[in-house]
Amino acid sequence: MILLMLISNFAIAQQKIPVKESIPKGGLLNKKIKGTIWYFDTFSIDENKLDLNGNAGPDIVNFIDENKFLITLEDQTTLSGTYQIFDLQDMGVHHSPAKYKTFKINKVKDPGSRAKKLTVFLEQKLNVHYDLDQRVMDFISDQVQPIAPAN
């Protein structure tokens, strides 16, 4: 009987943990940044990195609530959708699990070249480095691909 229990426990331990269950105890950064507004410049996307801060830039990202974001660009284009930023135990670094994307863009109003460039960037797999006290957040792409969309 004891041998049977040990074998069944070992078999259960060998099963793969689903991605949702593998999220660290820190969970999502979403709760900490909901309701905050960050500034950036779409044209400053350089070397697969976009810097956000609390006080400068012509473009704005508003984390409306725990799930939804709204980006307003200088040319009045808007992008909206949902986001998931994982908070790895307050270390200031996010690496998204394989099946997750940081941003899912659902709607683009009045798309222009700024919106196309930003959409291509945000739809990549992104890692996020943040310091909420200093009001700085960086989105960094793991992918090596052109940021500008092909025409």
Mean pLDDT, residues 43-60: 87
pLDDT-based confidence at residue 17 (cuts at 50, 70, 90): very low
Look at residue 139 and tell me whether its pLDDT is greater than 50: yes
Which helix (H) or strand (E) element contains residue 63?
Answer: strand 59-63
pLDDT-based confidence at residue 6 (cuts at 50, 70, 90): very low
Per-residue pLDDT at 12: 43
Parse the chain into domains and list their residue ranges: 26-141
- Please give the structure tokens belonging to residue 96: 């998204």
- Please give the structure tokens belonging to residue 6: 């040990």
Give the residue with greater pLDDT, 81 vs 147.
Answer: 81
Give the residue with greater pLDDT, 75 vs 18.
Answer: 75
- Please give the structure tokens belonging to residue 134: 């200093």
What percentage of the chain carries pLDDT values higher than 90?
A: 29
Name the region of 76 (left: φ>0; alpha: ψ -120 to 50; beta: rest): left
Mean pLDDT, residues 82-88: 81
Per-residue pLDDT at 100: 73
Which helix (H) or strand (E) element contains residue 4?
Answer: helix 2-14
